Amino acid sequence: MSLGEFDIIARYFANRAPRPDVLLGIGDDAAVLDVRADRRLVVAMDTIVDGVHFPSDTAAADIGYRALAVNLSDLAAMGAEPAWMTLSLCLPQADASWLEGFSTGLFELADRFGVALIGGDTVKGPLVVTVQVAGWVEPDRWLTRSGAQPGDLVYVSGVVGEAAAGLAVIQQQMPETAAAVQLRQRFLRPAPRVALGRSLRTIASAAMDVSDGLLTDLGKLCTASGCGANIDVDLLPRSAAMSQVFAADACVDYALAGGDDYEILFTVAPEQAPRVARELNAVCACTQIGVVTSQGGVQCRQGQQPYAIKRTGYDHFAGAQQST
């Protein structure tokens, strides 16, 4: 069926749940927003591309969900509370059922976090989706990648590796056991750690989300902080589902180098460590996996032995193979 740009916007994207701070929403040349003088504005933008960030046969609802989830994860890593989003939707054709699915997935997550769609663009072209989110954080309370100090403890939320394992389940069309389905959902429906990020504001010395793989992202955090880190493979949170589907070695590989988990990697000064157990674990399980060192680089050990890293994270332009 043929739908015009204005039909698409009116049918699938306009007139959703209002926010009082949206003074002028979708439909004009731009949106007009009321800002908070007592907060700082936090802005993130992420793009997902058909066949690069998700398999080409991914359901439209999962693509819509993902486009926002990866952005909310960035806000979570800053300790910010989400408020608004804009959407650029580049589509090969205007298919009503695809658009219905996409908007359902997008707004399922948006409504959960009170995020209003305030504008964007709908154009014809290859399937590329860009979302920008904006949110609020208290002055001087945002989290960065650059605050880690030698001696700080390195934590990760939840479990890492399951999303990459889930992508393997999809790509290899593995049997749909309960564990395989669980892994697949971890790839398709990552849960942005917004509540955890808010709780981390007064606890963490540095934070970032794990999108390109634990080691790659920890390396970025260390570079930004001018330090290094030692992590112990035996401390990594265990995934029962991953262990049921993959060999032990592959599980460690996925945990260290698999991307797309959207968990939060963070560092905590030793004296703040009791607060992690007391204040964070009610929000989401957090596991200490290592320590920050003064030496540059990330050292990976298993007990007392160096652990040889078989995979590295994903860099779109480095010519390296995708890790997942």
Residue list 8-37, contact with its own copies (CB under 8 A): 8, 23-24, 27-37
Q: Does 225 bind its own copies (CB under 8 A)?
A: no
Choice between 278 and 316, CB closer to its own copies:
316
CB of 220 to its own copies, least distance (A): 8
Q: Which two tokens stand for residue 53?
A: 């960030």
Q: Residue 4 burial by CB count (10 A; 0-12/13-18/19+): exposed, middle or buried?
A: exposed
* 116: Cβ contacts below 8 Å, ≥ 6 apart: 16, 17, 18, 19, 22, 25, 83, 84, 85, 110
Residues 120-149 that bind its own copies (CB under 8 A): 120-126, 128, 130, 132, 134, 137, 142, 144-146
Q: Rounded to an integer, what distance in angstroms lies between the CA atom of residue 136 and that of residue 184?
A: 32
Choice between 48 and 203, CB closer to its own copies:
48
CB of 176 to its own copies, least distance (A): 30
CB of 150 to its own copies, least distance (A): 20
From residue 178, alpha-carbon distances to 101, 182, 190, 240, 254 in Å are 25, 6, 18, 11, 19
Residues 259-288 that bind its own copies (CB under 8 A): none
DSSP string, 95-122: -HHHHHHHHHHHHHHHHHTTPEEEEEEE
Q: Which of 58, 86, 239, 287 binds its own copies (CB under 8 A)?
A: 86
Choice between 220 and 301, CB closer to its own copies:
220
CB of 318 to its own copies, least distance (A): 4
Q: Which of 10, 59, 195, 224 binds its own copies (CB under 8 A)?
A: 224
Q: Which residues of 195-217 are buried (b: 16+ CB within 10 A; e: fewer)?
A: bbbbbbbebbbbbbbbbbbbbbb
CB of 121 to its own copies, least distance (A): 5
Residues 184-213 that bind its own copies (CB under 8 A): 207-209
Q: Rounded to an integer, what distance in angstroms lies between the CA atom of residue 42 and that of residue 132?
A: 11
Q: Rounded to an integer, what distance in angstroms lies between the CA atom of residue 153 and that of residue 316?
A: 30
Q: Which of 97, 304, 318, 321 binds its own copies (CB under 8 A)?
A: 318
Choice between 125 and 306, CB closer to its own copies:
125
